[in-house]
Amino acid sequence: MCLPNIKVKSHQDPRHLRRIKNMQALFAYSSGNLDPATSDSPQIISQIEAINGLITLHAPKWPLDKINKVDLSILRCAIWELEFQKSTPPKVIIDESVELAKEFGTDTSSSFINGVLGSIIKAHESST
């Protein structure tokens, strides 16, 4: 029996590792460390107000200061990729973000992040 050639995502994939570093840099930023830790950090931070506005709009029951800092960092990275990079398919960004939430967040992080990002995607789809 011959199995199809399926590409399995690796945790050593440079894109995955870049997302982890960006998430960690934004976590440090939210804790008061203003030094850019990655080459993407300044670009993400320059859009932080717009990103925070989208989080507030799509997670209205969760004020920014009440969102777990890891979840907030993952959301900020994902929204930056979705809204400002636009080079990666949205499904890939959501999948990666959920994986990061499972790895670094709490038991409820992955579903929270999936819900917020899904809401943003739906809003884009309904506006086009």
Q: What tens digit of pLDDT does each residue of 8-35 get? A: 456 688 999 999 999 999 999 998 887 8
Please write the tens of the pLDDT for every residue from 61-115. 999 999 999 999 999 999 999 999 989 999 999 999 999 999 999 999 999 999 9
What pLDDT is recorded for position 7?
42
pLDDT at 110: 97
124 confidence band (pLDDT: 50, 70, 90)? confident
**More confident call, 16 vs 3:** 16
- Topology of the domain comprising 15-30+41-127: N-utilizing Substance Protein B Homolog; Chain A (1.10.940)
pLDDT number for residue 10 = 60
pTM of the full predicted structure?
A: 0.89
Residues in the chain: 128
Q: Where are the domains of the chain?
A: 15-30+41-127
